[in-house]
Amino acid sequence: MRLSEFRGKQLLRARGLRAPNGLTAATPAEAGKAAAELGGKAVVKAMIPVGGRGKAGLVRVVETPAEAEAAAADILGRVHGGHTVRTLLVEERVNVKSELYLSIILDSGRRGPVLIFSPEGGMEIEAIAAEKPDRLLKAGVDPLTGEIARDFSVRLAGLELPLDLIGQVERFAAQLARIYVDHDLLLAEVNPLVVDDGGCLIAADCKLEIDDSALFRHQEFIAEAESSLSPIEKEVKGLGGTLVAMPDGEVGVICNGAGMGMAMLDMLKNVGLRPANFLDTGGGIRYQRMKGIATVLLREKGFRGVIINLWGGIALLDEVAQAIIDVRDEYQPPYPLVVKLVGNNQEKARELLDRAGIAVARVVETEKAVQMLADAIAGRVTDGRTADA
């Protein structure tokens, strides 16, 4: 569960880290009033649990309460990453001298949290990794104590930052790591971590994500858990699945198994398609749940295509196929739909889909099913029957 930026910054401040003071606002008038209270100069930010707001024009630096009001009127109601902006964060303005990057994420490869730091903040971590890999430091974090591996300090010293800043980064990172461990976080990202005009560090942005499995240990956040989901994410959660909407997507994805879901997002990108979501149906899927979940995607008219890829271990694939057919009939999506079902009752399922005129990927490799969808979108003829499974 992602904590709101407002709540996340409260948490940082409570643990002695600097973050700009701010007020939430739900209307332009409230935003104007908040800016006035903060002294006029302010930053107006869309408070939604997705990044990339700066680029999308959802973070505005303003000079006066009137400007804050105008910015708020413009930002409220806009949609970004599947979330409608209903709340704004109006913050005191920080005079930015430079922007750094600091995060702690759970790294399954290392089987523990890892701290990532770069003096090239502001841009997304993927861009830093691609463009300035030598300016990116990683260090293991002890999952029980939050202690950062000692080579972090050594490598930090090698970045040729001002001595005083190095000390500040070390202290900030050490405290963030303790916060991470104490709250069972999966992610703590401060980007940018700003060096202000006084040379001090302050968290201009803050993304904290608590492990849902540990929420029971953090009663203070449970009420927020629900409200951080978008309506469609909530709908899928209610059906027993997990959906994460992705900004600027064009292809809907349904699959079972989170690993396969993640892999499919990569596969789609590899054939030049932008996934609109991650959607894991959860295990043991039957007719009703499949119907509900397929409805969530196939009622969307704006996609370029949808791909459904399910493995039938306990699931009965013929029931799944029937649900897909019923939803397709009801919503008549105007774009290609490719379905790959492998496992329990697959032959019966494929027969049903064939008869309904839905493209069946008779393949084992998901890459091939993804390619079929890409071909169908590009208007090339596809025939899953000539494939190899």
**Binding residues for ligand GDP (CB under 6 A):** 20, 43, 45, 51-54, 59, 61, 93-94, 96, 99, 122, 191-192, 204-205
Question: Which one of the listed residues 189, 209, 233, 319 is annotated catalytic?
Answer: 189
Which of 302, 377, 366, 301 shows the shortest CA–CA distance to 337? 377
| By the rule CB under 5 A, 99 interacts with Mn ion | no
Nearest approach, Cβ of residue 51 and Mn ion (Å): 6
Catalytic residue among 30, 101, 180, 335: 101
Residue 375 one-letter amino acid: D
Q: Name which of 52, 55, 71, 75 is nearest 63 in CA terms.
A: 71
Q: How far apart are CA 356 and CA 79, in angstroms?
A: 35
Give the residue with the Cβ less far from ligand GDP, 45 or 304: 45
Nearer Cβ to Mn ion, position 8 or 333? 8
At 364 the three-state DSSP class reads coil
Instruction: Residue 178: name its binding partner from Mn ion, ligand GDP, none (Cβ under 5 to 8 Å by kind).
Output: none
When CB distances are held under 5 to 8 angstroms depending on the partner's kind, the choice from ligand GDP, Mn ion, none that residue 28 binds is none
Number of residues counted as binding Mn ion (CB under 5 A): 2
Q: Pick from 245, 318, 291: which is nearest to 2 by CA?
A: 245
Position of minimal CB gap to ligand GDP: 54
Q: In terms of DSSP bridges, do strands 305-312 and 251-255 run parallel, antiparallel, or are they unpaired?
A: parallel
State the Cα–Cα distance between residues 185 and 67, nearest whole angstrom.
36
| C-alpha dihedral (291, 297, 303, 305), degrees to nearest 10 | -50
| Shortest reach from residue 210's CB to ligand GDP, in Å | 19
| Minimum CB–partner distance for residue 191 and ligand GDP (Å) | 6
Q: How far is CA 35 from CA 20, 27, 29, 58, 78, in A?
A: 13, 12, 10, 16, 21
Shortest Cβ 208–ligand GDP spacing (Å): 13
**Active-site residue, 224 included:** no
The answer to whether residue 101 is catalytic is yes
Residues 151-210 that bind Mn ion (CB under 5 A): 191, 205
| Catalytically active residues, by annotation | 101, 189
Q: Which residues bind Mn ion (CB under 5 A)?
A: 191, 205
